[in-house]
Amino acid sequence: DFSNLFARDLLPAKNGEEPTMQFLLEVVDILTNYVKKTFDRSTKVLDFHHPHQLLEGMEGFNLELSDQPESLEQILVDCRDTLKYGVRTGHPRFFNQLSSGLDIIGLAGEWLTSTANTNMFTYEIAPVFVLMEQLTLKKMREMIGWPGGEGDGLFSPGGAISNMYSVMIARYKYFPEVKTKGMSAAPRLVLFTSEHVRGLHTHVLPFIDCRLKHHYSIKKAGAALGFGTDNVILLSTDERGRVIPADLEAKIIEAKQKGYVPLFVNATAGSTVYGAFDPISEIADICEKYNLWLHVDGAWGGGLLMSRKHRHKLNGIERANSVTWNPHKMMGAPLQCSAILVREKGILAGCNSMCAGYLFQPDKQYDVTYDTGDKAIQCGRHVDIFKFWLMWKAKGTVGFEQHIDKCLDLSQYLYNKIKNREGYQMVFDGVPQHTNVCFWYNPPSLRGMPDGEERREKLHRVAPKIKAMMMESGTTMVGYQPQGNKVNFFRMVISNPAVTQSDIDFLIDEIERLGHD
């Protein structure tokens, strides 16, 4: 009975050991029940409530903070309710995000990490984690193909930040004085990245909201680092969403003619919506010709480096100067786990170090090159490495390979199932390069309707409507979005090892059940 116990009764309180153990065992019971239910297909993916409903309070679950302490009984209720009203992202029928699944080893790693509660900035306070990070990053660099796995890197708080690191170090490489003097020390620099939304004509599709996001991380980096979003030049893509190298070269030449200085090219390995892989080798040829920094954003597609069958999609990545690779996406590591990998050793420190004397004293008793924190732009840095290192230990590289091959096989199963099925239309032709399968579902009433604005308006409303019904019934979740001049379509992605063909069949049945007018 925890109703008369409070946080103040737990360790370090005198005689706090027994209630602490009992309390933690209760918490573990809540968590392990949640884990079991996550894999139980008769459990809902979510129990949806609108924000105002949760804010108003649900049967004993009140989000408001109070001045007085709540009993541990209530704290346990709060833990249960937090999970109850959340989304089971590890459920085999959750397909909404690039990161999904509930890896048991990764989860154990995350629990251990929180228990250790340390900070990655110095070897002094995180000796084992710092070494794990170094060894894992080296292994990842070997998989990229950099000789001897040499180079540098860090785990960062997500792919957008990893991409931002790449822009920062590219600028430091070519214009190091910006670190001290600011952007006035550099000419007008321009960055290049893919952009699908360029083709959007709002007069053609007035009903589409223009706040489309694609490859927004490079634009964000442009804004945050003082380049300006106008200096992020968007590259045309082919019908499969891959950058057209000739367009890159033309835009480099155009920028130079205007007196701008091309600095950086982002090639995407696994785009967010189409799962497209840009032709890295051809882009690398152009970067070499014009002496530009080549970054590969493999946040989503980097995991395919683990697969002998699929790694060819990243051919040329070994020529990149930097790579983003998020194990929390295709490799199923619990959030967050994103690496920025750099070919040139020392450049991260050169770019970011401030030599804070209170953390990075040069006269410590150990080799202070292991104090990696000064390479980061943040000071406090979460231990993201342990869960991933533990997963790699537990599965081996072959385990990741099997996981990735399985997910790609499942997406091909989905593609084969719907490509000629009545009511479905693929957004682009051909087998998807990644697990992204993009499609429209036409309810029966739209099937005989001639193409035109009225039909497109109606089709635009189909995916959001079906998705809303899915969420309200809690049976499954899948993403949708418009792209360029294409009205809302479903984007199905698979990264969860718990998914089977029966879950794909379920999704299709559910779309047809809910989409039947």
Buried b (16+ CB within 10 A) or exposed e, 456-494: bebbbebbeebbeebbeebbbbbbbbbbbebbbbbbbbb
Asked if residue 339 binds ligand ABU (CB under 6 A), the reply is no
Asked if residue 496 binds ligand ABU (CB under 6 A), the reply is no
Q: How far is the CB of 217 from ligand ABU (least distance, A)?
A: 7
Q: Please, are residues 460 and 487 in contact by the beta-carbon 8 Å criterion?
A: yes
Q: Which of 92, 101, 151, 159 binds ligand ABU (CB under 6 A)?
A: 159
Q: Please, are residues 87 and 95 in contact by the beta-carbon 8 Å criterion?
A: no
Q: Which is nearer to ligand ABU, 98 or 347 (CB)?
A: 98
Q: How far is the CB of 232 from ligand ABU (least distance, A)?
A: 17
Asked if residue 481 binds ligand ABU (CB under 6 A), the reply is no
DSSP 8-class letter at 306: G
Q: Which is nearer to ligand ABU, 221 or 252 (CB)?
A: 221
Q: How far is the CB of 497 from ligand ABU (least distance, A)?
A: 17
Q: Write out the binding residues for ligand ABU, residues 234-273 only, by CB under 6 A.
A: 272
Give bridge partners of residue 441 from the DSSP assignment: 424
Q: One-letter amino acid identity for 434?
A: H
Of 30-38, 97-105, 361-369, 495-503, the window that binds ligand ABU (rule: CB under 6 A) is 97-105
Q: Which of 46, 77, 87, 98 binds ligand ABU (CB under 6 A)?
A: 98
Asked if residue 495 binds ligand ABU (CB under 6 A), the reply is no
Q: One-letter amino acid identity for 314?
A: L
Binding residues with ligand ABU: total (CB under 6 A): 6
Closest listed residue to residue 62, CA positions, set 72, 47, 45, 74? 74
DSSP class per residue in 420-465: TSTTEEESSSS--SSS-EEEEE--HHHHTSPSSHHHHHHHHHHHHH
Asked if residue 275 binds ligand ABU (CB under 6 A), the reply is no
Binding mask 117-156 for ligand ABU (x = CB under 6 A): ----------------------------------------
Q: How far is the CB of 97 from ligand ABU (least distance, A)?
A: 4
Of 64-72, 94-102, 144-152, 441-449, the window that binds ligand ABU (rule: CB under 6 A) is 94-102
d(CA 55, CA 58): 8
DSSP class per residue in 93-159: TEESSSS----HHHHHHHHHHHHH---TT-TTT-HHHHHHHHHHHHHHHHHHT-GGG-SEEEEESSH
Residue 14 burial by CB count (10 A; 0-12/13-18/19+): exposed, middle or buried? exposed
How many other C-beta atoms can be found within 10 angstroms of the C-beta atom of residue 230?
11
Q: One-letter amino acid identity for 364?
A: K
Q: How far is the CB of 479 from ligand ABU (least distance, A)?
A: 6
Q: How far is the CB of 480 from ligand ABU (least distance, A)?
A: 11
Q: Which residues contact 78 (CB under 8 A, 6 or more apart)?
A: 61, 70
Q: Which of 20, 62, 97, 315 binds ligand ABU (CB under 6 A)?
A: 97
Of 92-100, 113-121, 248-256, 356-364, the window that binds ligand ABU (rule: CB under 6 A) is 92-100
Q: How far is the CB of 488 from ligand ABU (least distance, A)?
A: 15
The alpha carbon of 258 is separated from its chain's Cα centroid by a whole number of angstroms, namely 35
Q: How far is the CB of 277 from ligand ABU (least distance, A)?
A: 16
Q: How far is the CB of 196 from ligand ABU (least distance, A)?
A: 14
Q: Give the interface with ligand ABU as residue ranges (CB under 6 A).
A: 97-99, 159, 272, 479
